[in-house]
Structure 1
């Protein structure tokens, strides 16, 4: 058996049904990507894509044969979305790193800044509107209930990943809002490694928020990159 087949098929003997090894490994890649993102390293994006591919097979249990055998369409869809937005973030951060050579931000992929009030208003509109649109769609497709929670984890993840690519300090707060809903949803569906990762990631996001906030204050001149002001970077 090749290592790829073993990774795909192996089930850890945990609980009544067991846990797919690829769920654990996929979340490990996700955590590594988050650590890289906190440090503003470009490699965070491709590492995250590997985790997205693995977790996509986990959340489409009826297609890829997982111990749970259930589908979380929002969770699965967000893996596809993560991969797509990660390509955008990867390109953006590579460009920023190249432009920052010889400056205080050298070696990093982004200069953190606060989102403007206009950008925040856009986030709220998309958060409410897309969640409302996706909820009946996911319900019709048979997603695991409560379906609104699945729709929000997809929407919030989209917004947080886009915010990370843009370098918004605020993106960490969006992730925390996703985690608050995602942990109970994953526990209800029996995705325990993912739920544990979400819970840990919620604490991790608080640390990342503080670090990016401090970096923004240190790197950018006073008044630049704050809400309502014209941002740079």
Structure 2
């Protein structure tokens, strides 16, 4: 059996529950990417992309002849979105790191008030707009929760690419809805990972906030020329 064949068929049995190894490995890549993101390392983006590819095959269960797992179009679609936005973030962080010559790719900053309003409006309007579309396409109920996690993930990833400290709080909003949804469908590995992510994102927020304040204090100490 080739590695690809094993990856698509291997399962982990825990009691009466069955987990796909693709789901477990994909989430481990996602966790590693999140750790790299908290440390503002450029390599966080390509590592995350690998996890996104694996998780896409998990959530599109029907496409990959996996009748035991429900298809979640929002979750699958957001993996594609992650890949696209991650390429953007990868380029932006690489460019920023090359310019700063520092060990971290970016310096965290607050989003402008206009950007914050745009994030809130985009989250609500996007969820409302995508819910009927996902329902027609056959996503799992409650479809609004699938749409919410999709939109939140899009905005959070974009916020991370821009270096906005608030992006961590968007992830918290995603996890609050996403965890119950994933458990209800039977994606236990991803659901448990989201529980951890919820705690991790709070830590990440304060880590970035601390780095932001330290950068501001350093700039204040530099005498004007």
TM-score, scaled to structure 2: 0.94
Give the Å deviation of 1:69.
Answer: 2.8
Deviation at 1:109, TM superposition (A): 1.2
For the 8 Å contact 1:18–1:67, the answer to whether it is kept is no
Structure 1 gaps, min length 5: 225-233
- Per-residue CA distance 1:159-190 (angstroms, 9 max, x = gap): 00000000000000000000000000000000
Match of 1:126 among 103, 122, 133: 122
Q: Counterpart in 2 of 1:179?
A: 175
Query: What residue is the counterpart of 1:4 in the other structure?
Result: 4
What's the counterpart of residue 34 of structure 1? 34
CA distance in 1, matches of 2:97, 2:68: 42
Work out which of the residue numbers 117, 121, 138 in structure 2 matches 1:142.
138
Instruction: For 2:180 and 2:171, locate their aligned partners in 1 and report how far apart those are by CA, in whole Å.
Output: 15
Shift of 1:65: 2.9
Q: CA separation in 1, counterparts of 2:145 and 2:202? A: 22
Counterpart Cα distance in 2 of 1:17 and 1:167: 39
- Please tell me whether residue 168 in structure 1 is matched to residue 169 in structure 2: no
- Unaligned regions of 5+ residues in structure 2, if any? 221-225
1:227 maps to: none
Kindly state the Cα deviation for residue 16 of structure 1 after the two structures are TM-superposed: 3.5
Counterpart of 1:20 in structure 2 is: 20
Query: Alignment partner of 1:13: what SS?
Result: strand
Q: Aligned-pair RMSD on alpha carbons?
A: 1.5
How many residues in Structure 1 have an aligned counterpart in Structure 2? 220
CA contact (8 A) 2:69 2:186 kept: no
* Deviation per residue, 1:141-165 (Å, 9 max, x gap): 1111110000000000000000000
Comparing 5-14 and 174-183, the one that deviates more: 5-14
The answer for the alignment partner of 1:89 in structure 2 is 89
Are 1:19 and 1:67, in contact at CA under 8 Å, matched by a contact in 2? Answer: no
Give the equivalent residue in structure 2 for 1:212.
Answer: 208
